[in-house]
Amino acid sequence: MNLKDRVALVTGGSEGIGFAIAKALIAKGGKATLLARNEQRLREAAEKLGCDFIVGDVGEEETADTAVAEVAARHGRFDILVNNAGFGRFAPLIDMETEDFVAVHRTNVLGAFFMGRAAARHFVKQGSGDLINISSTSGLSGGAGATAYSSSKFALKGMTECWRAELRRHDVRVMLVNPSEVLTSFSKRAGYEQQPSPKKLRASEIADAIIGALQIDSRGFVPEFSVFATNPYE
C-alpha cells in the first residue's frame, strides 16, 4: 500500500517509538498527527516533524472521540491509528501498589480501547483502515516484577485478536507489534536504569518494521510480529 497522503494518528507520539513511527510515515509521504499528554514535549516533537499535534490523555474517553473526529475533519479522511501510548510500573507482587497497577491499565488497556473503538467506528464507515497496537514481548511471556505491565500487554493482545476478528470483514487491518527492549526513556520513567548498548534496538527499527507491514498491499496483512535485537548481549 502506498503511504503517500495516508492520514495517521499516533498516540504517545512526542518521543520514543511513537515519534519514530510518525517520522517514518511522514518520510513516506504520509500525514501524521501526534497525540500525547505533555504539551511542551509534544509541541517540540511536532515542530521537528512539521506535523499537527493534539494534547490529550488516552485514558480519558472524550480524548479518543475528539482526536479521531478532529483528524478526520482536518484531512477529509483518517487511515491509520497507531496505539502506542503506554508506560510501566514494576514491583514484586507483594509490593505492588494498587494505584500503580490501575494507572498502568488505565493507559495501556483502557486508553487503547478508547482509541481503538473511536478509530474502528470511523474505519468501518470508511470501509478501510489500519489499526496498529504497540504491545511488547512482555505481552508474550510474563516476568518477575512485571505484574502490572505484562498483564496490560497480555490484555492488549487479547483485545487485538477480538478486533481483528470483527473488523476484517470491513477491510480493516488490525496488527499487533511486540518490540523487545528498545533504547528509549521508558525505563527511566518506570524507575529503573537501562544499560546502553550499540547492539540494542532503537525506535527506528520498530518504525521500519511497521512501515514494511503497512506497505503490503491492502488485500493482505501481517496480524502480529515481534522485533528482537539480533545480539544485544555481546
Active site residues: 149
Neighbour order of strands in the sheet with 31-36: 52-55, 31-36, 7-11, 80-83, 129-134, 172-179, 224-227
Residue 145 CB contacts under 8 Å (≥ 6 apart), including other chains: 90, 91, 92
- CA neighbor of 173 nearest in space, from 133, 228, 114, 135: 133
Query: How far is 110 from 156, CA to CA, in rounded Å?
Result: 9
50: left (phi over 0), alpha (psi -120 to 50) or beta: left
In total, the chain counts a number of residues equal to 234
Taking the alpha carbons at both ends of the chain, their separation in whole angstroms is 37
